[in-house]
Chains A and B, each alone.
Chain A
Amino acid sequence: MKRVNSVEALEKEREKIRAARDSNKPCITICTGTGCHAAGCYPVAEAFKKALKAQGMDGSVDLRNTGCHGFCERGPLVVIHPEKILYQRVKPEDAEEIITETIKKGNIIERLLYEHPVTGEKIAHERDVPFYKLQKRIIFGNNGAIDPTSIEDYLALGGYDALAKALTSMEPVQIVEEIKKSGLRGRGGGGFATGRKWESCRNAPGNNRYVICNADEGDPGAYMDRSLLEGNPHSVLEGMIIGAYAIGSHEGYVYVRNEYPLAVNNLRTALDQTAEWGLLGKNILGSGFDFTVKINRGGGAFVCGESTAMMASIEGQSGEPRPKHIHTVESGLHDKPTNLNNVETWANVPYIINQGADRYCRVGTDGSKGTKIFSLVGKVNNTGLVEVPMGITLREIIYDIGGGIIGGKRFKAVQTGGPSGGCIPESLLDLPVDFDRLTEVGSMMGSGGMIVMDESNCMVDVAKYFMNFLKEESCGKCTSCREGTRRMHEVLNRITEGEGREEDIELLEDLAFVTTEASLCALGGTAANPVLSTIRYFRDEYEAHIRDKKCPAGVCKALITYEIDPDQCTICGLCQKTCPADAIEGKVKSKKPFKIVPERCIRCGMCYEACKFDAIKVT
Chain B
Amino acid sequence: MDVDRVESILKRYDHQDSSLVAMLQDLQAEMNYLPEDALKYIAETLDIPLTRVFRVATFYSAFSLTPKGKYQIQVCLGTACHVRGAARIVDTLERHLGIKPRGTTPDLLFSLDTVNCLGACAAGPIVVVNGEYHNEMSPLKSEKLLKQYQKTEKDN
Residues of A within 8 A of B (CB): 34-35, 37-39, 72-73, 75, 217-223, 226-227, 258-261, 296-302, 313-319, 375, 377-379, 383-385, 415, 418, 449, 451, 453, 457, 462, 465-466, 469, 473, 475, 578, 580, 604-606, 609-610
Q: Across the two chains, which residue of chain A brings its CB closest to B62?
A: A300
Are the C-beta atoms of A378 and B79 separated by less than 8 Å? yes
Inter-chain CA distance A77–B140, complex, in Å, is: 27
- For this complex, 21 residue pairs linking A to B, each with C-beta atoms less than 8 Å apart, are A34-B119, A37-B133, A38-B134, A38-B135, A72-B123, A220-B78, A221-B121, A260-B119, A261-B131, A300-B61, A300-B115, A301-B59, A302-B116, A317-B20, A317-B56, A375-B80, A377-B80, A449-B80, A449-B121, A606-B139, A609-B138
* Known contacts A301-B61, A604-B92; A73/B79 CB under 8 A: no
Q: Which of B1-9, B82-90, B148-156 contacts A (4 or more CB under 8 A)?
A: B82-90
Inter-chain CA distance A219–B55, complex, in Å, is: 24
B66 on the interface (CB 8 Å rule)? no
A422 to chain B, nearest CB (A): 12
Are the C-beta atoms of B123 and A469 separated by less than 8 Å? no
B69 on the interface (CB 8 Å rule)? no
B25 on the interface (CB 8 Å rule)? yes
Listed from nearest, the 6 A-B pairs whose CB atoms lie closest are: A299-B60, A72-B122, A223-B119, A220-B78, A318-B59, A383-B122
* Known contacts A38-B134, A221-B80; A259/B115 CB under 8 A: yes
Q: Which residues of chain A come closer than 8 Å to B119, judged between CB atoms?
A: 34, 217, 222-223, 226-227, 259-260
Are the C-beta atoms of A300 and B123 separated by less than 8 Å? no
Are the C-beta atoms of A38 and B123 separated by less than 8 Å? yes
Q: Across the two chains, which residue of chain B brings its CB closest to A320?
A: B59
Inter-chain CA distance A258–B22, complex, in Å, is: 10
* Known contacts A378-B79, A451-B83, A605-B88; A35/B25 CB under 8 A: no
Are the C-beta atoms of A578 and B140 separated by less than 8 Å? yes
Inter-chain CA distance A222–B122, complex, in Å, is: 10
Are the C-beta atoms of A378 and B80 separated by less than 8 Å? yes
Q: Which residues of chain A come closer than 8 Å to B91, judged between CB atoms?
A: 604
Are the C-beta atoms of B118 and A609 separated by less than 8 Å? no
Contact of B79 among A35, A300, A451 (CB under 8 A): A451
Residues of B within 8 A of A (CB): 16-22, 24-25, 52, 55-56, 59-63, 77-80, 82-85, 88, 91-92, 95, 115-124, 126, 131, 133-135, 138-140, 143
A135 to chain B, nearest CB (A): 15
Inter-chain CA distance A364–B61, complex, in Å, is: 39
Interface centre among B63, B92, B123, B133 (most CB of A within 10 A): B123
Are the C-beta atoms of A258 and B122 separated by less than 8 Å? no
Are the C-beta atoms of B25 and A377 separated by less than 8 Å? no
A64 to chain B, nearest CB (A): 22
Are the C-beta atoms of A296 and B139 separated by less than 8 Å? no
A424 to chain B, nearest CB (A): 14
Q: Which residues of chain B come closer than 8 Å to A296, judged between CB atoms?
A: 21-22
Query: How many A-B contacts if CB must be within 8 Å?
Result: 163
Q: Across the two chains, which residue of chain B brings its CB closest to A383?
A: B122
Q: Across the two chains, which residue of chain B brings its CB closest to A606?
A: B139
Are the C-beta atoms of B80 and A451 separated by less than 8 Å? yes
Q: Which residues of chain A come closer than 8 Å to B139, judged between CB atoms?
A: 604-606, 609
B107 to chain A, nearest CB (A): 21
Are the C-beta atoms of B79 and A418 separated by less than 8 Å? yes
Are the C-beta atoms of B19 and A316 separated by less than 8 Å? yes
Q: Across the two chains, which residue of chain A brings its CB closest to B124?
A: A377
Inter-chain CA distance A604–B90, complex, in Å, is: 11
Contact of B122 among A217, A299, A379, A384 (CB under 8 A): A384
* Known contacts A259-B115, A316-B19, A318-B55; A377/B121 CB under 8 A: yes
Inter-chain CA distance A606–B85, complex, in Å, is: 12
Contact of A297 among B22, B124, B135 (CB under 8 A): B22
Are the C-beta atoms of B126 and A604 separated by less than 8 Å? no
Are the C-beta atoms of B83 and A462 separated by less than 8 Å? yes
Inter-chain CA distance A220–B75, complex, in Å, is: 13
Inter-chain CA distance A604–B138, complex, in Å, is: 11
Inter-chain CA distance A259–B128, complex, in Å, is: 11
Q: Which residues of chain A come closer than 8 Å to B16, judged between CB atoms?
A: 316
B74 to chain A, nearest CB (A): 9
Inter-chain CA distance A597–B17, complex, in Å, is: 60
Inter-chain CA distance A223–B79, complex, in Å, is: 12
Q: Which residues of chain B come closer than 8 Å to A299, judged between CB atoms?
A: 21, 24-25, 56, 59-63
Q: Across the two chains, which residue of chain A brings its CB closest to B56?
A: A318
Q: Given A297-B25, A449-B121, output 5 extra A-B contacts at Cβ < 8 Å.
A: A220-B78, A220-B79, A221-B78, A314-B18, A580-B95
Interface centre among A260, A300, A384 (most CB of B within 10 A): A300
Q: Across the two chains, which residue of chain A brings its CB closest to B23?
A: A316
* Known contacts A220-B117, A259-B119, A457-B83; A316/B21 CB under 8 A: yes
Are the C-beta atoms of A219 and B60 separated by less than 8 Å? no
